[in-house]
Structure 1
Amino acid sequence: FVPRYDTDWMSRYFFSGGIMPSDNLPLHFQDDLKLRAQWRWDGTHYQRTAEAWLANMDQHEADIMPVFETAFGADAGIWWQRWRIFFLACAELFGTSRGQEWWVSHYRFERPA
């Protein structure tokens, strides 16, 4: 992901230099990896995951903040809020239209013979 706008906080702080591959992208590399199985989960699964991560983070704030302070210094509080917003945004995005807009895919590959 490349941040395109000053407001593009998710690309800047969470996915810098990464990609969000399409569901079928790994299928285009069958010479290198042979697909054995694929599972598609509707967005409600990741919605619940993001909500659980947020609840867990909030529950363990006293344990996590010292780690954030070591990693982010004076910006620890800002990063705390960024992570909260990230989990909230993911939960809302993946829960859109009862989980039918965004999916999570899992793959099992093997080396080709």
Structure 2
Amino acid sequence: MFEHLRNPAALLRNIRRWLNPDGTLFIQVFSHKKYPQFFDNPGSSWMARHFFTGGMMPYAGFFSDICDSLETERQWIISGTHYHNTLESWLRKLDDNNNQLLSSLQTSWPKTQAKIYINRYRMFLLICSEMFRFNKGQDWHTMHYLFQK
């Protein structure tokens, strides 16, 4: 969940201390090909308000750029179409199990509130699915990093 960090460089410095002398660190994050996206304004951003308050979707290469405590052994991009397929699978499961989920949530919240939470999560899955599918998965994607001490 490195996308939720506000000071990832500090965490990476700590991780360096925690690693064995020949240790490695693998990070998987969602990212945009060029620009970071900040989820720091809940007043104007639906995503910031309901899911990633204070988070950031980094740009491709961000963690290599800011990590001065570990060596980047390798970094690579996984097309956003793969995550799109995952999101579509989750969406099908959500829809197929809607009644059971609604029943479970009603043990904690009134039915109307439970429906709101389910619909928000459904909207989240739809938004992310289309975003990662856009431009054949080349704009938003999954970024993998392998760092070495």
1:40 aligns with 2:106: no
Aligned match of 2:68: 31
Aligned match of 2:139: 101
Aligned match of 1:64: 101
Deviations 1:36-91 (A, max 9, x none): 222201221111111111112222334433443355x1311101001111111111
What residue ranges of structure 1 are gaps of 5+ in the alignment? none
Structure with greater proportional helix content: 1
- Per the normalisation by structure 1, the TM-score is 0.80
Aligned match of 2:40: 2
- Which piece of structure 1 moves more, 8-17 or 30-39? 30-39
SS at match of 2:147: strand
Does the 8 Å CA contact 2:85/2:129 hold for their aligned counterparts? yes
Alpha-carbon shift at residue 4 of structure 1 (Å): 5.8
Alpha-carbon shift at residue 12 of structure 1 (Å): 0.8
Aligned match of 2:91: 54
Aligned match of 1:88: 126
Cα distance in 2, alignment partners of residues 33 and 67 from structure 1? 44
- Per the normalisation by structure 2, the TM-score is 0.63
Amino acid at match of 1:107: Y
Cα distance in 1, alignment partners of residues 135 and 145 from structure 2? 24
Does the 8 Å CA contact 2:75/2:143 hold for their aligned counterparts? yes
Alpha-carbon shift at residue 34 of structure 1 (Å): 2.1
Structure with greater proportional strand content: 2
Amino acid at match of 1:54: L
Cα distance in 1, alignment partners of residues 138 and 87 from structure 2? 16
Query: Sequence identity, in percent?
Result: 36
Does the 8 Å CA contact 1:47/1:94 hold for their aligned counterparts? yes
Q: CA RMSD in A?
A: 2.0
